[in-house]
Amino acid sequence: MDLSFSAEELAFRDEVRAFLNDAWTEELASLMGSTETFKEGQIEWQHRLNKQGWLAPDWPIEHGGTGWTSTQNFIYETERSAVGAPGTLPFGLKMVAPVIYGFGTEEQKQRFLPKILNSEHWWCQGYSEPGAGSDLAALQTKAELDGDDYIVNGAKVWTTLAQYADWIFCLVRTDSSGKRQDGITFLLIDMNTPGISVNPIDSIDNHHTLNEVVFDNVRVPVANRIGEQDKGWTYAKSLLAHERTSIAGVSESKRKLRKLRELLATEVNGGVPLSQDTMIQSRIADVEIELMALEYTELRVLASTAAGEGPGVESSLLKIKGTEIQQALQQLYMDLAGYYSGVIQGDMSAESIGHDFGSEARRAYMYGRAATIYGGSNEVQKNITAKYVLGL
């Protein structure tokens, strides 16, 4: 039992700090903060990380990974979120890339991985459908072989940031005769292919991140298929476990918690700062205690992964607890804003409205409802835990 850092690890931490100090600038933060320039900002941030060689730490070294130990990973994530720097776009880097280097052909690796690294390709995830959410295997978007192409018809929904995407990775149905999981194929589809339309879905945070992606006789070369036809479910499942670990967001929550504590000093009620309000203090303490535990739960999972044992079903625990904590923090953020938690600020200045974080708290809270829904809903995660961990 030991969690102290070695001298090399401390040196690494200093290196990370120095990098972040140069690369994560106010200017970049404001680019990413506005809807119009979000994409540009995100890409610029990824360029900076890529230049440093740190864009895809968990990739195999031969494809551009860093070969960091899990401790180094932990240090990097902690330092990154401490300064409020955002993560990378998961769809390309964390979702499709592992499938490509894990199951793709040499040609596919050469063709796609470098463009994910240089951010030339913006990816989105086309799994869910109107009739296939928690029950993903119910998906019906169809792909039929026609010479060297598949012809794809159907619709995907809730496709995050598809409006910016160059490519989409999709699960499609190629066989409906046997077990539902057995007739699914994993396709990489160029968003510029004729027959694809992207329809925006406004969400309750008053923003547009969600979309419906409709396929009308879309031709996809067989060369864009991952692995074998009808075996897509296996590839997709390996990806879902990845999605669940990164969803815990421990370091992000630690930063939010610090921010809440700062706000306690500046928000006042009847002339008394909220830092003197024992009720909100004890609510924050409740969350912090859960978070302290989760931080170590995550480290335990990391340690067993490093020992070649995971990540397995315990990633459900990280997802459930991580998202519960995120939502509790969002709730506190709203509560601190009081009346202003309802404000839709738009282009107005904080000064004219009279409050500087109410609108942001509202957005974070409303969008944050989704964290217990996506990536396998928390109910589904509990079903998984009951079945595979508890053996019920």
Active-site residue numbers? Answer: 243
40 binds, among another protein, ligand FAD, none (CB under 5 to 8 A by kind): none
Q: Which is nearer to ligand FAD, 303 or 313 (CB)?
A: 313
In Å, what is the CA distance from 156 to each residue of 81, 144, 175, 212, 264?
32, 17, 18, 6, 43
What single string gives the DSSP state of each residue in 30-73? HHHHSTTTHHHHHHHHHHHHHHHT-S-TTS-GGGT-----HHHH
Which of 108, 160, 251, 385 touches ligand FAD by CB under 6 A? 160
- Interacting residues with another protein between 163 and 222 (CB under 8 A): 201-204, 206, 210
Exposure on the CB side of residue 170, measured as CA atoms within 13 A: 33
- Pattern 46-75, ligand FAD, x by CB under 6 A: ------------------------------
Report residue 189 as tokens.
Answer: 């589809």
Which of 12, 54, 158, 169 touches ligand FAD by CB under 6 A? 158
Rounded Cα distance between 242 and 90, Å, is: 10
345 binds, among ligand FAD, another protein, none (CB under 5 to 8 A by kind): another protein
Interface segment toward another protein; rule CB under 8 A; list 165-173, 246-254, 265-273, 309-317: 265-273
Q: Are 311 and 300 in contact (CB under 8 A)?
A: no
194 binds, among ligand FAD, another protein, none (CB under 5 to 8 A by kind): none
Report residue 322 as tokens.
Answer: 């991580």
Rounded Cα distance between 169 and 190, Å, is: 9
Interface segment toward ligand FAD; rule CB under 6 A; list 113-121, 251-259, 302-310, 368-376: 368-376
Residue with tokens 């409740």: 286
Residues that bind another protein (CB under 8 A): 128, 131, 133-135, 138, 157-158, 201-204, 206, 210, 267-271, 277, 279-280, 283, 327, 331, 334-335, 338-346, 348, 352-355, 362, 366, 369-370, 372-374, 377, 379, 382
